[in-house]
Amino acid sequence: MNDKEKTKELYQRLCIRDITRRFNIQHLFATEMPYHCGFGNNSRRRADLFSISIENNPIVTTYEIKVSRQDFLKELKQPNKQDFARLFSHYFFYVTPIGLLDVKEIPLYAGLIEIDIEKQIIIDEYGDSNITFIFKKDSPRLEPMPPTWGLVVSAIRHSIGRTGGRKENIEEIQQHFGGSVVIYKERPDHRKMYFNSEDLK
């Protein structure tokens, strides 16, 4: 699996897990999102994945995807690169395949999530997935400033439109990112374990 394919797998799993594990909270996802609209200096700084929980007190989480140590170490030499992410987010995480980074390398303001990108994604009929995040380091809660109109417009422009039910949302995410095939698996009818089939008619 090359770096581009690894990145797609991480993107896909990040979005699908949020959809399948938080049943009462919807999310807006924006990918490759500049922190301002237009062509100013702020538009050069981008979030790999910008996630906003759609609720009364929304939580903003920025995910920075890394699939190579070289890319991560290069970023550490630019300490101001994530200033906008820290300015507008409640939480900031680096997201990597398993075993790429050492927790000791992660900046104080950030967390580290590892995801198994080799594992086949399975969604059951109730919308539960087998995707798990390994939280190697929790992100501290940051104190973001209120969003600017430039940030709002940029988030809308780069958001992944999601409509319909959970399955439709997942299929739209997979179409957007590509990546491995998602398997939908029916759960066994647990009633049949305790009742005769004649009783269920």
CB contact at 8 A, 137 and 103: yes
pLDDT of residue 21: 60
Residues 6+ away with beta carbon under 8 Å from 145: 87, 88
d(C-alpha 95, C-alpha 107), whole Å: 13
Residues 6+ away with beta carbon under 8 Å from 192: 200
Output the tens digit of pLDDT for each of the chain's 201 residues. Answer: 899 999 999 998 888 877 666 555 677 888 888 887 655 554 467 889 988 887 788 889 999 999 999 999 999 998 888 998 999 999 999 999 999 999 999 999 999 999 999 999 888 777 778 888 999 999 999 999 988 888 888 888 887 755 445 666 777 777 767 777 777 777 655 444 444 444 434
Instruction: Work out how many domains the chain is built from and give that number.
Output: 1
Q: In whole angstroms, what separates CA 36 from the centre of its chain?
A: 21
d(C-alpha 139, C-alpha 136), whole Å: 10
pLDDT of residue 151: 83
Residues 6+ away with beta carbon under 8 Å from 137: 103, 106, 110, 111, 112
CB contact at 8 A, 96 and 134: no
**Which residues pair with residue 123 across a beta bridge?**
129, 184
pLDDT of residue 104: 95
Task: Determine the structural domain holding residue 72 and report its residue range.
Answer: 3-200
